[in-house]
Amino acid sequence: MKNSKVILFILIFLKFLTNISHSLAEINVYKKIDLFGEVLEKINKEYVDEINQSESMDSAINGLLQSLDPYSAYMSPEIFNEMQTETSGEFGGLGIEVGMESGVVKVISPIDSTPASRAGIKAGDYIVKIGDIQVQGKSLSEAVDLMRGPVGSSINLTIRRVGQKKALTFDIVREVIEIKSVKAELLEKNVGYIRLTSFNENSGEQIKDQIRKFKKNKNVNAYILDLRNNPGGLLSQAIRITDFFLDNGEIVSTKSRKPSENRKWFAKKGDLINGKTLIVLINYGSASASEIVAGALKDHKRAVILGENSYGKGSVQSIIPLKNKGAIRLTVAKYYLPSGKSISEVGVSPDIEINEESDSFRIKTDTDNQLNYALKLLNR
């Protein structure tokens, strides 16, 4: 009986300490909020130029979100409304997937057959100026908005590229961006080549159709899945496409702050290409869903991964509406490969590393040394 009372006392005491800890944390947060209000008031009264308090608050909110990771951001009511509204007939774009790194817009991937791709923009490029406007200090949403404009209008981008001492400039004409996510072709009379540029709602079905067509040709004895410069897209399609090449096993898992929301996905029996040799091409422009496919096939030793290390975007973002009719894009979970490794900031490393050989490198042309190496590997 005495021991029971002691245990009960200890539990009550621990609960008391926990409540104190939570109360102190809340008090500290409120002090920080008061401090922020004081700083804003001082700026408003003492700063050399008059400021727009509403814009300052937006910048502060965005700064908070961008301090979390490169993909979380605040969208004002105007930007959120534009995102929701179909404006394909009025506005054009460049055809690049971008993120924010150290206050500068970073190219995750140029999209095939778009103005940015044709101009020579590369994954990993840093956009430092849009026209005459410095990007430093702008939010990602603001920078993207500056790059949009009427179809047929031109824009000048100033780029910093790793390994280049001088800044590069590109004059690019905006177009309506129409993405054809799947392209396929028979190469060397025996290799089924499938290029996937994004993971949209039709990608899985289109790849399945192409595989069926290749299977009718008895000469096809190997496949190449090209995920280079593919910035990602729908998780459901990444899972489905990976499942095409596996007979069993885990494909990917997601872990969030709440353990109850953690999930795992597994392959169903049935390899569409019946165990034939598969090479997956990746580069620094392969991100998110591309990394799930490449990483899962590598972990299961089902494919040879060839090319360069991928981007390292292994997180899930949700758009959360706010009371002011704006929204936040917030990272809510991370992807994990079957091996248990996180993709975030690490990416997927190739089994065979083949780097782009020249600045004139273009995917699926004579300068494509990565594809040429893969074909030689399959036909040696």
Among 141, 313, 315, 368, the one annotated catalytic: 313
pLDDT of residue 59: 82
pLDDT of residue 18: 58
- Of the candidates 123, 191, 151, the one whose C-alpha atom is nearest the C-alpha of residue 374 is 191
- Tell me the residue length of the chain: 380
CB-based contact 308:352 (threshold 8 Å): no
Residue 330 and residue 315: Cα distance in Å, rounded?
10
CB-based contact 197:264 (threshold 8 Å): no
Among 299, 310, 315, 368, the one annotated catalytic: 299
Residue extent(s) of CATH 3.90.226.10 domains in the chain: 182-314+332-378
pLDDT of residue 87: 35
Amino acid at 368: D
Amino acid at 259: P
Fold of 182-314+332-378: 2-enoyl-CoA Hydratase; Chain A, domain 1 (3.90.226)
Among 72, 141, 198, 288, the one annotated catalytic: 288
Amino acid at 293: V
Return the half-sphere exposure (C-beta side, CA atoms, 13 A cut-off) of residue 129.
10
245-262 exposure pattern, b = at least 16 Cβ within 10 A, e = fewer:
bbeeebbbbbbeeeeeee
Give the chain's residues under pLDDT 50: 6, 9, 13, 86-90
What SS3 state is found at 186? strand
Say whether 288 is catalytic.
Answer: yes
Residue 308 and residue 123: Cα distance in Å, rounded?
12
pLDDT of residue 91: 53
Q: At what angle do helices 53-66 and 2-46 cross, to 10 degrees?
A: 140
Paired tokens of 230: 């593919």
Paired tokens of 59: 């910048």
| CA Rg value for the chain | 25
Fold of 81-173: Pdz3 Domain (2.30.42)
Residue extent(s) of CATH 2.30.42.10 domains in the chain: 81-173
